[in-house]
Amino acid sequence: MIIAIGGVSNSGKSALAAAIQEVFHQDNLVVLCQDDFTVAPENMPKIAGRPDWEHPSSIDHTRFRQSILKHHSEGKTVIAEGLMVFHDTETGKLFDRCIFIEISEDCFLSRKKADLRWGAEPDWYIRHIWENYLNFGLPKGISIPLLRINGEFEPDFNTIISYLNNGTLD
């Protein structure tokens, strides 16, 4: 099975992927974070002279897709997560289950300003992240049921597990 988890930065994608991995207790489950598939620094798009990590051309979608297929061909359950996980049409065709975590703009701004893992981001760049999420991160062309989760609250794991097991939204 290939599971996609999308949503804006700081919405809870990585935490949900880890929780799913914990619930399923599978050694043959792999989580692939789209952030680990960026293009070479010299090919990274720029905005105001700095790398634009939030643009689709910052991701090597082919390499991401190939890694998903490689792990899947080895019999592993794959969780593919990222801000733009639904952006690339060819990659989107691989997904058996799709989860989208939604948070409000205010929640995003609050969480992102508090996230200092890479140092403080300027306000203009944080706004840029939100705008690129709206332009490139929203799910599109999904042909299977899409489970939408409110990332501002603790997720209902019964609903998530039921969806993962059955592929239907009850």
**CATH number of the domain at 2-166, please?**
3.40.50.300
pLDDT value, residue 49: 87
Low-confidence ranges of the chain (pLDDT < 50): none
Cβ-Cβ contacts under 8 Å for 87 (sequence gap 6 or more): 56, 59, 61, 136, 137, 140
Q: For 52-80, how does the pLDDT look when each residue is reduced to its tens digit (9 = 90+)?
A: 988 999 999 999 999 999 999 999 999 99
Give the E-state strand segments of 8-126 in sequence order: 29-33, 46-47, 50-51, 77-82, 97-102
**DSSP label at residue 170:** -
Choose among 150, 144, 149, 143: nearest CA to 161: 149
Choose among 75, 81, 78: nearest CA to 9: 81
Q: How far is Cα 74 from Cα 69, in angstroms, rounded to an integer?
A: 9
Q: For 121-140, how does the pLDDT look when each residue is reduced to its tens digit (9 = 90+)?
A: 888 998 999 999 999 999 98
